[in-house]
Amino acid sequence: MSLARASSSLAYPERFHAAALYAGFGGSPNSSGNPISKFSNESALLLYGLYQQATIGPCNVPKPRSWSPVEQNKWTSWHGLANMASTEAMRLFVKILEEEDPAWYSRVPEFVIEPVVDVEMNNPKPEPQMANGNHYPETKTISTENGSTLETQDKDVVLEGLGSVGVYDQWVSPSISGQRPKARYEHGAAIVQDKMYIFGGNHNGRYLNDLQVLDFRSLAWSKVEVKLVTESLDSPSPVPLVPCAGHSLIPWENNLLSIAGHTKDPSESVSVKTFDPQTSTWSTLKTYGKAPVSRGGQSVTLVGTSLVMFGGEDAKRALLNDLHILDLETMTWDDIDAVGVPPSPRSDHAAAVHAERYLLIFGGGSHAACFNDLHVLDLQTMEWSRPTQQGEIPSPRAGHAGVTVGENWFIAGGGDNKSGVSETVVLNMSTLVWSVVTTVQGRVPLASEGLSLVVSSYNGEDILVSFGGYNGRYSNEVNVLKPSHHSTLQSNMIERPVPDSVAALHNVTSAARDVESEFELVQEGKIREIVMDNDSDPMESVVQNMKSEKTGEAIVASLKAEKEELEAALAREQLQSLQLKQDLVEYDVRNSDLTKELQSVRSQLASEQSRCFKLEVDVAELRQKLQTMETLQKELELLQRQKAASEQAALNAKQKSSGGVWGWLAGSPPNQKEDDA
């Protein structure tokens, strides 16, 4: 017999009223009074409609005639719920609030009355709970595709840091203290001395430059008060730290290196900054050689003492597929011209190194498409190749994140410009065989773009840690996954039978973990034997009936939860449909106005075309008259020349026939002299 902690929660309608007051409905003194300021517009409108439906009933008020879109949308949200029952509206209200803010219940102390009692239980393990796609603060789990039950830790169970993760191959949301960082995506994440540092990122289109740290030993957030960045390690003059997103954050010698990234005013080339956790100071490192052009969304992989940079998107949104290497010992850039066919230009892809020799590039996207191709670069021969992938090849994606554990490459998140990717996959880099580790459901941070993924360890076990992302809304949640030994060997098992030596090693390392599962199988076998022989013992039949009733109750509870999910989804779809109809009406009105304006413009254009035609006719006539005038001018000039020639000829003839100057002096006119003769 063992003791387990159990807690009770408020029943309906008290739970609904507590949720309504927390959300800002009902005049809570602790609320903002404006629910829209706390949630997204879609969620706030849906919460408003459900609150009105639960407290007042179906909408019987006329549609507002005002031109305020907020009032019209509120009425549309309420009216779209039709005759939904008040109790159903209450449950859906709480359901949606828990999806938007999973920890709301623990943040309302005046309504959270959870006395802790000691309950005797026969089962040494806590009672598992059915996952239904929501994040509850009591369970702190991520639902899986097959709806399997997950063991969780109670909030009050004291375990050190990541040691609270007790399940394998499932994403779990641990209980974390401290003020959460601002939600973001396209940030940088790296681990230095059991602490995960988060730097920069994008929130609502604004670049960030804050530095947040999560201590894995205490699982507590804190903000690092950094000093102003210095221009270089040799020059102490401080300069402001430029906000950025899409950069790469790399741990190096207990420091952090921030490389490249999108900024508001981009520089011409890539810059390298370093952060010293001991002095909380940023510095800009001086590099040599030809630095790559500035970019974001690239991959930067640490290989030995060098950083290998591939691809990305420059400041002019041009996609890149160039290759550069930065030697961290000499801080010298080298532009690499590899042989073979490189990956097509892309950004937001994932990269990993295998055996300190092979660089793997997977996925990424262009402006129009996402990829799921795999490319390998031999860093010794600098030759690209595209090997054949095997197993469950992942779907195309971009904005995903990956980490390596031994020869296994775990990849989570990403999207295809339509929806987020729900599968967490693993690639065995030796056999190039893909397999699926787990699948999440719903619009959760694990199915989003721009999340970060790092790997830590606790008691010799590797643990994946994800943060942030964007899938319609920005996230600041932390989720962890402890990969089992089975998941890391699964790729090899798919490709070929496991050798005896590997199987023996697997059995030894998994012996402690499998004892519990074998005990459960034995117990299950005993239960099945009792079920088969229940006709011989009435008491056993009663026990079976009781178990059947409990199973039936569990099924009913699961169906109710699924019904609530479907109703919530239906309410959202109805609200979205109504909003689309309203938008369609507005677009029709706008289209009508634009059509009238287009007709008016066409009429003016026709008038101008007619006027232009008349002007062209007048111009043609004037040109014809001008040609006629030129012809007349030429004829006039010819006549004038002929007249001048005639006059000159007549004058010459007259002078010749006058008898010369002596006759003139004698006084006899020329005509008289001719008569006398």
In angstroms, the Cα distances linking 437 to 358, 374, 434, 445, 637 are 24, 19, 10, 17, 103
Determine the pLDDT at residue 519.
35
Render pLDDT for 594-615 as a digit per residue (tens, 0 to 9): 888 898 898 888 888 888 988 9
Determine the pLDDT at residue 95.
84
Whole-number average pLDDT of the chain = 78
Helix (H) or strand (E) holding 307: strand 306-314
Determine the pLDDT at residue 44.
84
Determine the pLDDT at residue 443.
82
Q: What is the C-alpha separation between 444 and 451, in angstroms, rounded?
A: 11
Distance of CA 555 to the CA centre of its chain: 36
More confident residue, 605 or 14: 605
Q: What is the C-alpha separation between 296 and 113, in angstroms, rounded?
A: 49
Render pLDDT for 436-487 as a digit per residue (tens, 0 to 9): 999 998 888 899 999 999 999 888 889 999 999 999 899 999 999 999 865 6
Cα angle value 422/427/429 (rounded, 5°): 160
Q: What is the C-alpha separation between 54 and 51, in angstroms, rounded?
A: 5
Tokens of 203: 């929130």
Q: Which of 33-42, 63-72, 384-393, 564-573 has the lowest mean pLDDT?
A: 33-42
Query: Residue 551: pLDDT above 80?
Result: no
Q: What is the C-alpha separation between 352 and 234, in angstroms, rounded?
A: 33
Q: Which of 95-109, 244-258, 320-334 has the lowest mean pLDDT?
A: 95-109
Q: What is the C-alpha separation between 402 and 427, in angstroms, rounded?
A: 10
Q: What is the C-alpha separation between 483 and 583, in angstroms, rounded?
A: 47
Determine the pLDDT at residue 89.
86
Asked if residue 322 lies in contact with residue 290, where contact means CB atoms within 8 angstroms, the answer is no
Q: What is the C-alpha separation between 629 and 616, in angstroms, rounded?
A: 20
Tokens of 491: 């790729």
Query: Residue 495: pLDDT above 70?
Result: no
More confident residue, 355 or 234: 355
Q: What is the C-alpha separation between 141 and 481, in angstroms, rounded?
A: 11
Q: What is the C-alpha separation between 541 and 539, in angstroms, rounded?
A: 5
Most confident of 60-74, 353-367, 479-493: 353-367
Helix (H) or strand (E) holding 6: strand 2-7
Residue 508, CB-side half-sphere exposure with 13 Å CA sphere: 5
Determine the pLDDT at residue 616.
87
Determine the pLDDT at residue 600.
86
More confident residue, 584 or 538: 584
Q: Which amino acid is present at 580?
A: L
Q: Which of 62-66, 529-533, 590-594 has the lowest mean pLDDT?
A: 529-533
Q: Which of 285-289, 439-443, 551-555 has the lowest mean pLDDT?
A: 551-555
Render pLDDT for 369-384 as a digit per residue (tens, 0 to 9): 999 999 999 999 999 9
Asked if residue 308 lies in contact with residue 357, where contact means CB atoms within 8 angstroms, the answer is no
Of 451, 476, 479, nearest in space to 187 by CA: 451
Instruction: Place 666 in a pLDDT band, splitting at 50, 70 and 90.
Output: low
Query: Residue 407: pLDDT above 50?
Result: yes
Determine the pLDDT at residue 83.
86
Q: What is the C-alpha separation between 451 and 369, in angstroms, rounded?
A: 20
Determine the pLDDT at residue 133.
34
Most confident of 282-291, 485-494, 519-528, 596-605: 282-291
Q: Which amino acid is present at 432?
A: L
Render pLDDT for 237-248 as a digit per residue (tens, 0 to 9): 666 789 999 999
Give percent above pLDDT 70 in the chain: 73
Give the burial class of 260: count Cβ atoms within 10 A of its Cβ; 0-12 exposed, 13-18 middle, 19 or more buried: buried
Q: What is the C-alpha separation between 70 and 81, in angstroms, rounded?
A: 17
Residue 634, CB-side half-sphere exposure with 13 Å CA sphere: 5
Query: Residue 202: pLDDT above 80?
Result: yes
Q: What is the C-alpha separation between 249 and 259, in angstroms, rounded?
A: 7
Give the burial class of 414: count Cβ atoms within 10 A of its Cβ; 0-12 exposed, 13-18 middle, 19 or more buried: buried
Question: 66-70 long-range CB contacts below 8 Å, 24 or more apart?
Answer: 70/36
Of 237, 235, 233, 244, nearest in space to 211 by CA: 244
**Residue-wise over 26-47: b if at least 16 C-beta within 10 A, else e?**
eebeebeeebbebbeebbbbbb
Of 413, 414, 412, 408, nearest in space to 427 by CA: 408
Q: What is the C-alpha separation between 659 and 653, in angstroms, rounded?
A: 12
Phi, psi dihedral angles at 58 (to 5 degrees): -60, 150
Q: What is the C-alpha separation between 274 and 281, in angstroms, rounded?
A: 8
Q: What is the C-alpha separation between 281 and 279, in angstroms, rounded?
A: 5
Q: What is the C-alpha separation between 381 and 387, in angstroms, rounded?
A: 16
Residue 221, CB-side half-sphere exposure with 13 Å CA sphere: 17
Render pLDDT for 84-134 as a digit per residue (tens, 0 to 9): 888 888 888 888 888 887 777 766 654 443 333 333 333 333 333 333 333
Determine the pLDDT at residue 472.
87
Instruction: Place 172 in a pLDDT band, splitting at 50, 70 and 90.
Output: very high
Average pLDDT for residues 379-391, to the nearest whole number? 97
Give the burial class of 661: count Cβ atoms within 10 A of its Cβ; 0-12 exposed, 13-18 middle, 19 or more buried: exposed
More confident residue, 661 or 69: 69
Query: Residue 29: pLDDT above 50?
Result: no
Average pLDDT for residues 634-659, to the nearest whole number? 85
Determine the pLDDT at residue 412.
97
Tokens of 504: 């023996």
Q: What is the C-alpha separation between 113 and 115, in angstroms, rounded?
A: 6
- For residue 638, list its beta bridge partners: none
A 10 A CB-CB count for 588 gives 10
Average pLDDT for residues 291-300, to the nearest whole number? 97
Asked if residue 307 lies in contact with residue 301, where contact means CB atoms within 8 angstroms, the answer is yes
Determine the pLDDT at residue 111.
43
Q: What is the C-alpha separation between 140 and 138, in angstroms, rounded?
A: 6
Tokens of 569: 């989804």
Asked if residue 454 lies in contact with residue 403, where contact means CB atoms within 8 angstroms, the answer is yes
Q: What is the C-alpha separation between 586 and 76, in angstroms, rounded?
A: 15
Instruction: Place 31 in a pLDDT band, splitting at 50, 70 and 90.
Output: very low
Asked if residue 350 lies in contact with residue 299, where contact means CB atoms within 8 angstroms, the answer is yes
Determine the pLDDT at residue 259.
98
Average pLDDT for residues 379-404, to the nearest whole number? 97
281-284 vs 272-276, strand pairing mode: antiparallel
Q: What is the C-alpha separation between 18 and 201, in angstroms, rounded?
A: 35
Q: Which of 463-477, 531-545, 638-652, 662-676 has the lowest mean pLDDT?
A: 531-545
